[in-house]
Chain A
Amino acid sequence: MLFISLFLILVMVFAYAKGVNVFDEFILGVKDGFLTVYKIAPYLLTMIFAIDIFRSSSALDFFINLLGPFAEFFNIPREILPMFLIKPLSGSGAIAVLTDISRQYGIDSKEAKIASVMMGSTETIFYTLGLYFGIVDIKKIRHTLLVALIIHFISTLIAVYVVCGIK
């Protein structure tokens, strides 16, 4: 909390001293904020529909149980497996999963905390690599995807350990 307050003061004072019209810029930013939510809204709704149907039909539990032994072996709580599977593919999917986990266990629960840390410290790998390599027409990406996936897995483990402590 202190960190955020200090960051806000730093940004405001620095910008003001530099002669930035903070009021006008803030308003333009607020406009951006509205637009961002407007832009993600269709994706978010679409993903939440799928995840809610998938979850309420207990189809999700079925797949989580399949992956259960794998998760247990690495001490990963199985509640966060949906985040592990969806984040590399879709950012709005990740938001939908966090919403779902928060509804099941509460947003301040251990599960939601791990899922949040994962969401913040992993990347939508397939989307990013597709976009960045696509724009320069690179076909052979060498070890990029492999290392990115290993890192996704390692970040998940670290997220679990940082939130729950090392067992």
Chain B
Amino acid sequence: MVNKLWFFMIIFGIASFIIKGDNSLIKVITESSQRSVELLISLVGIMAFWSGVMRICEKSGIVDIFSRFLSLPLRFIFPGLYERSKPAFFNIIMNITSNMLGLSNAATPFGLKAMEELQRINPKKDTASDYMVTFLIINSASLQIIPTTLISLRASLGSKEPYDIITPIIITSSVSIIIALLLDKLFQRFK
């Protein structure tokens, strides 16, 4: 899909240059590459800082503390899962907590493991179980408290207030996660 999108943008873009009789295409490409490399260079420093912090965060076991707070609401959201499969429940908690703290590199392995554990207790192996659907819908609402990449990117783009977006993001994600769960329950009931 990204393949098609990229191809479409390049072809349509270049064709528009030709149709308009505009011959600044090479200039655009040159400037674009220069800007991208400048962006990457300024991104390295601030990303390095946040990755350092997140590494300490990971090693300190702070994720476990956060995950304890999540245990109760998640038992409610995934009714009966804790009793049926502790590993699935544990991996879901770790995935959601890691995502919340912006540790997306750590989150993916937990998420994939959670899916495998959920598949183990799934009666219909080719159809997503209720647990799986709920889990992925929560993931789609993307609840992040410390969006490290985004903060770093905004800082490299010269923002005076790169952190200002944290509160709006938490509000947006929290509201959409509640709506997501309601929609999920609604679909589960009527389908």
CA distance A6 to B139 in the complex (A): 26
User: Which B residues are CB-close (under 8 A) to A89?
Assistant: 1-2, 5
CA distance A154 to B171 in the complex (A): 13
User: Which B residues are CB-close (under 8 A) to A58?
Assistant: 16, 20
Distance between A117 CB and nearest chain B CB, rounded to angstroms: 5
**Tier of interface size on chain B:** 35 or more
Residue of A at shortest CB range from B146? A7
- Given A54-B12, A121-B144, A158-B171, CB of A11 within 8 Å of CB of B183: no
- Inter-chain contact count A-B, CB under 8 Å? 284
- Binary contact readout B95-128 vs A (1 if CB under 8 angstroms, 0 otherwise): 0000000000100100110011011000001111
Q: A53 at interface (Cβ–Cβ under 8 A)?
A: yes
User: Interface on chain B toward A: helix, strand, loop, or mixed SS?
Assistant: helix
Q: Give which listed residue, A50, A125, A133, contacts B10 with CB less than 8 A.
A: A50
Q: A79 at interface (Cβ–Cβ under 8 A)?
A: no
Contact between B14 and A57 (Cβ–Cβ < 8 Å)?
yes
Contact between B55 and A34 (Cβ–Cβ < 8 Å)?
no
- Binary contact readout A115-135 vs B (1 if CB under 8 angstroms, 0 otherwise): 011011111011011011101
Contact between B132 and A36 (Cβ–Cβ < 8 Å)?
no
CA distance A10 to B150 in the complex (A): 21
- Binary contact readout A19-56 vs B (1 if CB under 8 angstroms, 0 otherwise): 01010011111101110110001001111111111111
- Binary contact readout B80-107 vs A (1 if CB under 8 angstroms, 0 otherwise): 0000000000000000000000000100
Not counting A37-B47, A57-B12, a sample of 5 additional A-B residue pairs whose C-beta atoms are within 8 angstroms of each other reads A3-B163, A25-B56, A53-B28, A57-B25, A89-B2
Chain A interfacial positions (CB closer than 8 Å to B): 1, 3-4, 7-8, 10-12, 14-15, 18, 20, 22, 25-30, 32-34, 36-37, 41, 44-59, 62, 86, 89-90, 93, 95, 98-99, 102-103, 107-108, 113, 116-117, 119-123, 125-126, 128-129, 131-133, 135-144, 146-148, 150-152, 154-155, 158-159, 162-163
Chain B interfacial positions (CB closer than 8 Å to A): 1-2, 5-6, 9-10, 12-17, 20, 22, 24-25, 28-29, 31-33, 35-37, 39-40, 43-44, 47-57, 59-62, 105, 108, 111-112, 115-116, 118-119, 125-128, 132-133, 136-137, 139-142, 144, 146-147, 149-150, 153-154, 157-161, 163-166, 168-169, 171-173, 175-176, 179-180, 183-184, 187, 191
